Amino acid sequence: MKIPKQPEINIGTAGHVDHGKCLTPDQKVRIAGYEFSGNDLIKHFEIKQINHEFYKFDAKLQVDSVSNMKVVESLAFPYFQKYWGDIIELETVSGRKVSGTPNHKLFDSRTGWRRLDQLTEESNVMVNVHNSVDYDKISRIIHRKYRGVIFDISVPLIHNFIMANGIVSHNTTLVEAITGKWTSVHSEELKRGITIKVGYADAAIYQCGALPEPQRYVTDGKCPEGEAKLRRVISFVDSPGHESLMSVMLSGAAVIDGAIVVIAANEPVPQPQTMEHLQALKMIGIENIVFVQNKVDLVTYNEALNNYNKILNFVNSYGYDKSPIIPVSAQKRLNIDALIQAIEEIIPTPNRDTQAPPLMQVLRSFDINKPGTEISELSGGVLGGSLKQGKLKIGDIIEIKPGLPSRNGFQPVKTHVKSLFTAGGQVEEVMPGGLIAIGTELDPIFTKNDIMVGNYVSKPGFLPNPVFEIEVNYELFEYVIGTKELIRTEKIRVNEQLKLNIGTMVNSGEVVDIRGNNLRIKMKRPSIALSGDRISISRMVSDRWRLAGSGKIL
């Protein structure tokens, strides 16, 4: 469904990925160039059983996935679950096979991502042939019963992976249940050749006035009777739930106006990564949060109620006692209307200053040109992000700082706005809120592979010069976030190495001076330091960067 206007608000989602769209364990997946079946993974990792499911969140994999019609390597995590029910086996003309649950998804060349039970012998599914995307026609479909373990591969930012036989498979999140889209490359983005940001999806929220709450809230614009009234358009920033991807979540959090925190009904509460996400949201000042108790279909009523009470105690301990907790089943789309109502009531659209100079921090930069494009037909590099203030129109001159690497450090860059994209397509002007893509005159070699992430964009002369040193007023958490055992946080020391998230920029630095609660940090890369902006501070604990506290730039 076409998004009717530019999104006006960004809502971050963090927590437990919604699985259940899985494969039988005999299926093989390409991991780090080798082939492993689900059974191989079970033997290789020590799988910890929790209630109905199996988890191993600290097992990191490198899998092949598809992004912008190209095969890329992506960080991923294995996921295991007990299952008793129907299995669908598909075989293609070339002999490729897949065996999984009816709601597991493959990409159909005609209709986009489709469940196994929606595919027919006329479907052509996406496959990888020698690192090139192609399609293979289905020749046979078999239904059978199954009882045992099934598995999936969670790819937090791409959401798809390639099996050893070349078939491209898909896993998804709660956002798909709300928006009807996956927060990865979908068919419209593939046709357009541009994606604003992997990990984003947009939804229009409509109201059917004749219906009672919460049934009156829909995202497809269709009402049983009467006309649907558009309330607003929302961008969802789908952040990964794994603790090792915290820097990605914090980069996304730099542009969010509210958040949805997802907690599984069939897991102990709280999980380390949930604590870390909630502490991060609290740290950057996100007050408007809706909590989601997902997977209620996998537990009994009493188990769900017990889990709900634990979630309630957990969120209250962080000061979010006014935030609602909405029980849902994303897989069965249960209670999604109540979740949309909570979003409308709890996360308002903030007031934006459209008369101020435009200000955007780059969340993604990329090259949209296909290989082999003639020089005369090349498009300039693209910058993705969200305007915090002001507005931009085609033809405007923008300045990018710190800019591009040079012999003397970094050189600010000026360029013209050649094109503007929002969720609704190409536009002449963009306002604050939602996610945008700015087409520029920059050589695409300078924007590909997210090279420009962390830069600020504004009108020439508005931004301060980049600096290598910042002074921050800081505070540390009482305990290290993200560890299963409680580790009391130690005081920061002079000469200690820190990892910093300054908006969308991930930087590192050394503490050169400490005076009370103020730190002076010398950074490895220059950064735009805007007084009053909050940063996150991570420290090396047990051979891993852990979120330790926050600071405010002085």
284 within some domain: yes
**Statement: residue 266 has pLDDT above 60:** yes
CA 528 to chain centre: 24
Q: Which two tokens stand for residue 232?
A: 């607003």
CA 328 to chain centre: 20
Q: Are 357 and 462 in contact (CB under 8 A)?
A: yes
Tell me if residue 370 falls in helix, strand or coil. Answer: coil
Per residue in 383-439, pLDDT (tens digit) is 988 898 999 999 999 999 999 887 777 899 999 999 998 877 788 999 998 888 899
- Among the ranges given (17-26, 183-192, 379-388), the one the predictor scored with the smallest mean pLDDT: 183-192
**Statement: residue 51 has pLDDT above 50:** no
Residue 182 banded pLDDT, cuts 50, 70, 90 = very low
> What stretch of H or E contains 553?
strand 544-553
Q: Which two tokens stand for residue 150?
A: 């099934």
d(CA 15, CA 273): 7
Task: Tell me the longest C-alpha to C-alpha distance in the chain.
Answer: 71
pLDDT at 255: 73
184 within some domain: no
Instruction: Identify whether residues 106 and 211 lie together within a single domain.
Output: no
Instruction: Identify whether residues 34 and 109 lie together within a single domain.
Output: yes
Per residue in 95-148, pLDDT (tens digit) is 999 999 887 889 888 877 788 988 999 899 999 988 888 999 999 999 999 988
pLDDT at 451: 85
**Statement: residue 287 has pLDDT above 90:** no
Domain containing 285 — which CATH number? 3.40.50.300
21 within some domain: no
Domain containing 521 — which CATH number? 2.40.30.10
Instruction: Identify whether residues 340 and 365 lie together within a single domain.
Output: no
Read off the pLDDT of each residue in 164-181 and give the average, rounded to a whole number: 72
**Statement: residue 1 has pLDDT above 80:** no
**Statement: residue 322 has pLDDT above 80:** yes
Higher per-residue confidence, 353 vs 191: 353
Instruction: Identify whether residues 336 and 368 lie together within a single domain.
Output: no
Read off the pLDDT of each residue in 306-320 and give the average, rounded to a whole number: 93
Range of 23-32, 296-305, 417-426, 507-516 with top mean pLDDT? 507-516
Instruction: Identify whether residues 518 and 535 lie together within a single domain.
Output: yes
d(CA 23, CA 276): 30
Range of 23-32, 72-81, 370-379, 413-422 with top mean pLDDT? 413-422
Question: Pick from 346, 374, 399: which residue ends a domain?
Answer: 346
- Alpha carbon separation from 42 to 169, 322, 427, 437, 445 (Å, rounded): 20, 42, 49, 42, 42
Domain containing 105 — which CATH number? 2.170.16.10
d(CA 282, CA 550): 10
pLDDT at 186: 31
Instruction: Identify whether residues 340 and 364 lie together within a single domain.
Output: no
2 within some domain: no
Q: Which two tokens stand for residue 124?
A: 């052509």
100 within some domain: yes
Contacts of 516 (CB under 8 A, 6+ apart): none
Mean pLDDT rounded to a whole number for the chain: 82
Instruction: Identify whether residues 34 and 123 lie together within a single domain.
Output: yes
185 within some domain: no
Question: Pick from 286, 313, 346: which residue ends a domain?
Answer: 346
Q: How many CA atoms lie within 13 A of 453 on its CB side?
A: 18
**Statement: residue 195 has pLDDT above 50:** no
**Statement: residue 367 has pLDDT above 60:** yes
d(CA 42, CA 82): 13
**Statement: residue 531 has pLDDT above 50:** yes
pLDDT at 194: 33
The residue segments making up the domain with residue 281 are 9-15+200-346
CA 509 to chain centre: 26
d(CA 316, CA 498): 30
- Among the ranges given (28-32, 344-348, 510-514, 526-530), the one the predictor scored with the smallest mean pLDDT: 28-32
Instruction: Identify whether residues 258 and 340 lie together within a single domain.
Output: yes
Instruction: Identify whether residues 321 and 206 lie together within a single domain.
Output: yes
- Among the ranges given (49-58, 326-335, 469-478, 490-499), the one the predictor scored with the smallest mean pLDDT: 49-58
Phi, psi (deg, nearest 5) at residue 187: -60, -40
Q: Are 508 and 497 in contact (CB under 8 A)?
A: yes
**Statement: residue 16 has pLDDT above 70:** no
pLDDT at 519: 94
Higher per-residue confidence, 115 vs 290: 290
Range of 47-56, 77-86, 215-224 with top mean pLDDT? 215-224
Q: Are 222 and 254 in contact (CB under 8 A)?
A: no
Q: Are 4 and 423 in contact (CB under 8 A)?
A: no
pLDDT at 306: 95
pLDDT at 418: 94
d(CA 223, CA 337): 13
CB atoms within 10 A of CB 525: 18
Per residue in 239-256, pLDDT (tens digit) is 544 433 445 455 555 678
Instruction: Identify whether residues 269 and 323 lie together within a single domain.
Output: yes
Read off the pLDDT of each residue in 153-158 and give the average, rounded to a whole number: 68
pLDDT at 242: 40
Contacts of 365 (CB under 8 A, 6+ apart): 381, 382, 383, 384, 447, 448, 450, 451, 452, 453
Residue 190 banded pLDDT, cuts 50, 70, 90 = very low
pLDDT at 174: 66
pLDDT at 5: 84
Per residue in 453-473, pLDDT (tens digit) is 889 999 999 999 999 999 999
**Statement: residue 88 has pLDDT above 90:** yes
d(CA 317, CA 319): 6
**Statement: residue 314 has pLDDT above 70:** yes
Instruction: Identify whether residues 120 and 208 lie together within a single domain.
Output: no
Residue 323 banded pLDDT, cuts 50, 70, 90 = very high
Phi, psi (deg, nearest 5) at residue 346: -100, -30
Question: Pick from 346, 367, 394: which residue ends a domain?
Answer: 346
Instruction: Identify whether residues 410 and 450 lie together within a single domain.
Output: yes
- Give the number of domains in the chain: 4
Higher per-residue confidence, 277 vs 554: 554
CA 393 to chain centre: 27
Read off the pLDDT of each residue in 67-88 and give the average, rounded to a whole number: 78
> What stretch of H or E contains 476?
strand 467-476
